[in-house]
Amino acid sequence: MPQLSDDIPCRVTRLPNGVRVVTEAMPQVKTASLGVWIEAGSRHEAKGQEGLAHLWEHMAFKGTASRDALAIAKELDILGGLANAFTSREATCFHIRVMDAHFRRAFDVLADIALNPRLDPEELAREQAVILQEISMVEETPEEKVHEDFWAAAWAEPAIAHAITGTPRSVTAATPKTMQAWRRAHYRPGAIAVVATGAVSHEVVVDMAAATFGSLPAAQGPVVRPAGAFTPPKLAVRRESEQNHVILAYPSVGNKSPERFAHTLLATLLGGNMSSRLFQEVREKRGLAYSIYASVSGLADAGIFEIQAAVEPERTRELLSVVRAELAAVAGGAVTAEELDHTREHLKGLLYLGAESTENRMMRLARNILLFGREIPLEETAAALDNVSLDELAAIAGRAFTEANTGLCILGPTAAIP
């Protein structure tokens, strides 16, 4: 029999074959969000397999043994819900949000497309062509292209470095045989989590999951290679465009690190909102860029602190000088208690506002289960943000924002590393 936890309102059950069933009841709402998460993303692809996780995500909506693509689309439309899917570097997720009365039917559809996609050769060829267009769109979008080029240059480990969409060569080379082999290795019960939040009953979700996912044979998963160290690249890419697109980056921490809260605060304080230091200095005071962002791009075991902006080519050096001066000031202890409190309240506001959405709750709960094997209460996250001190922020900035740690990528008409 499945083993049930005693956590209320979040409850976790692990089926005998290893599938996790996780629910969080929200009695005050009339909607429910469901996600089928598989710990199978682009970092689980070997050489020649690039893009298979993403291709499988696309094929899931092209038909199953019992539903063709049109039937899936019609059924999702009839439910009136919001259904989608995405592939990240570490997971694939199929998700839907519906009225509580439609939950059982939504579960049936979502489980079907996640478990039973049909690899029709003609449909596969069409979807390969669609993904090739997706890759071309990235190539033609400078702000996306600069990020892909930078990320690829920043990691020595090929499984981390390659694009989630794969390459034209790897996508074109995919066959039903190679796709099925990859799927058998990675779509295993121990890598699957069925997560539901909102107007749901844990016992009902467990019964439905046992009926659909419980018969999957248990299997040992392949070993996932460590991400390895971030290697700061210096990359100039000449491209005809109106602006130079710039990424300045430094080493950060993984999503499992206790320091993740301090790094998130630091990124937000520097470039996470309109009152942030870089937005005020770069856009409001100097008019150097329409927008400038700072964020942490994290994997479970590694991360990068990124600053991204687009600037007129002749003002690229000025932009870099201003950004570096601001980073040095933060490392030198220039952040005030008022600034830190302001940023803290901003992040806590986003945290609690997001908690009113069943979809946001489902996404957050699922990520915590995959990373930590447990729910992390909102209050625990808020307390962790409150515990970050000015000294800790300055120390992290001082360690990270050094010349030796600096990664720089410039894409544009006058791209050159100064």
Angstrom distance (rounded) from CA 273 to CA 268: 7
8 A C-beta contact, residue 235 and residue 410: yes
SS3 237: strand
CA distance 61 to 114: 9
Q: Which residue in 122, 114, 149 sits closest to 37, CA to CA?
A: 114
Cα angle 162-126-41, degrees, rounded to a multiple of 5 = 30
Q: Which two tokens stand for residue 411?
A: 């894409």
Q: How far is CA 412 from the centre of its chain?
A: 27
- Residue 217: asked if its preceding bond is cis (omega within 30°), the reply is no
Q: Is 251 exposed, middle or buried (0-12, 13-18, 19+ CB in 10 A)?
A: buried
| Closest listed residue to residue 41, CA positions, set 149, 187, 152, 211 | 187
Catalytic residue among 24, 50, 57, 375: 57
Which tokens belong to 102? 């439609």
Active site residue 57: yes
119: nearest Cα among 63, 42, 171:
63
* Rounded CA separation 303/296 (Å): 7
Helix H or strand E encompassing 137? helix 121-139
Q: What is the total residue count of the chain?
A: 418
The DSSP call for residue 223 is P
Question: Which residues does the annotation mark as catalytic?
Answer: 57
